[in-house]
Amino acid sequence: ACKCGIAEYTRYLTSALIDLGHDVKIFGEKNANSDAPCDVPYQVCYQRQNPQSYINLVNALNEFNPDIVHLQYEWNLHHTDGLFLELAKPRPHFTTWHNVIPDDKSAFYGKLSDRHIVHNQPCSQMLQSRLGIASKIIPHGTRKNVVTPTDEAKRKLGIDPNRKVISVYGFIVPRKGFHTILTSLGKMKQYCPEAYFMVIGGHHPDGAQFTANYVDLFNRAEEQYSDDVRVTGFMTDESLVDLHLSASDMIVFPHLGNDNIISASGSVRRVIDSGKLVAVADILFYSEFTGDMAVRIPKTESHITMGRFLGRWLAKSDGNEAMKLRDNLKIYAEDTSWSKVARSHVDYFLQFLSSR
C-alpha cells in the first residue's frame, strides 16, 4: 500500500483510469522504502528536495510522450523549486490542488498550468479570489469497501457486540484531534455506558519522533483501559481496515484548527462507504459532508462538552435520525465512487484536447 494520502489518491485514480481503458503511468519521487510503492505503473524519476533531479522527470515524460500531464499538487511539493522545469514544457498540464496555499509560488505554478481541478467549493473560491485562477470541482474519489455486518465484525475482532464502538481513522498526529475523543470517553460513557473507543490507525511509518510521543499516549491508554480502548496500529491490509470500519458504530473526525485549512479530507472518503454514522468537525476542510449526511460537530463544543455531544449520538447511532444521515452518506459515497470520478477526469481531459 502507498503511505500517504496523496499517494493513495493517485493510486486509486490511476487504477480507475486504467479500468476505463486509458494508458496511465505515475512518475514519482524516490521513496525511502520502495522504488515502486504502488501496484500500478510507476516510475521513479526525481527526489523532492533536489531541484536538479526534476530534469529526470522531464526526460522521463519526454520518453512517455503523454497527451496530458496531471500534477497532484500538495503541501510538500509546494516547498520544492524544481517543478517549473516540467511546467515550462509545451505540453498540456492539469493541476489538482490538494491544498490551496494563496501565495506567489502557487500563483506562478498556477499560471503555467492549462487547467485546474479542486475537490470542493472552498478550494475553488480561494483559487479564484486570491490567485485569479478558475477551476473545475471534481470530488475526491470514494473507495468501495467490503462491509461485514456490525455484530459479526465485532465478534471477529473480539469485541462484545453489545459495546457501542466509536472510532477514529487515520495516522495518529496531533492536528487530527484524536486525543479529544480519548479525554472525553469518561463523560461519553455517562450518556452511552456501552461506549468503546477504537483508533483505526497508528504512527506514520515515516513519522517524526514528536508524533511517536503523541502515539504513545494512546498506547498507554490501551494498556491501562484495555476493556474500553483499542489501538490497531498502522495497517497495510485493506481488508483488515474494512473489518475494523465494519465493527464501528460511529466514526469521528475531530480535526483541530479552523477554516484556514483549504483542502479536502481523503481519510473521510476512505470510511464513508462502510455505511456508518460519521461525525466531522464543522470546518471548511469537511465542507462536502453537509448536515444531511453527517453529524457536524459545532465549534462551540469544547473538550468538556464533547463527551456529552458524542455520547448522545453514539447511543442513538442506529436510531431513525442517524439512519437518515447514514443512508444519505452511502448515496454520496456511490455518487463519488472512483469509477465516476475517473470518468469526470476523462471528460475534462477530452474537452480540453478537443478545444486545442
Q: What is the predicted pLDDT for the residue at 38? A: 67
pTM: 0.92
What does the block give as the cell for 140? 475526491
Q: What is the predicted pLDDT for the residue at 272? A: 97
The dihedral of CA 76, 82, 86, 88: what is its sign?
positive
Integer angstrom CA distances of residue 167 from 23, 73, 98, 138, 245:
38, 30, 25, 28, 8
Question: Cα–Cα distance between 297 and 279 in angstroms, integer?
Answer: 7
Q: What is the predicted pLDDT for the residue at 2? A: 39
Q: What is the predicted pLDDT for the residue at 31? A: 60
Integer angstrom CA distances of residue 299 from 120, 124, 176, 306, 354:
21, 23, 15, 10, 46
Residue numbers in the chain where pLDDT is lower than 50: 1-2, 32
Question: Cα–Cα distance between 91 and 67 in angstroms, integer?
Answer: 8
Question: Cα–Cα distance between 291 and 221 in angstroms, integer?
Answer: 32
Cα dihedral value 145, 146, 151, 154, nearest 10: -80
Mean pLDDT of the chain: 92
Residue pLDDT, tens place only, 112-166: 999 999 999 999 999 999 999 999 999 999 999 999 999 999 999 999 999 999 9
Q: Are 272 and 144 in contact (CB under 8 A)?
A: no
Q: What is the predicted pLDDT for the residue at 1? A: 35
Q: What is the predicted pLDDT for the residue at 206? A: 67
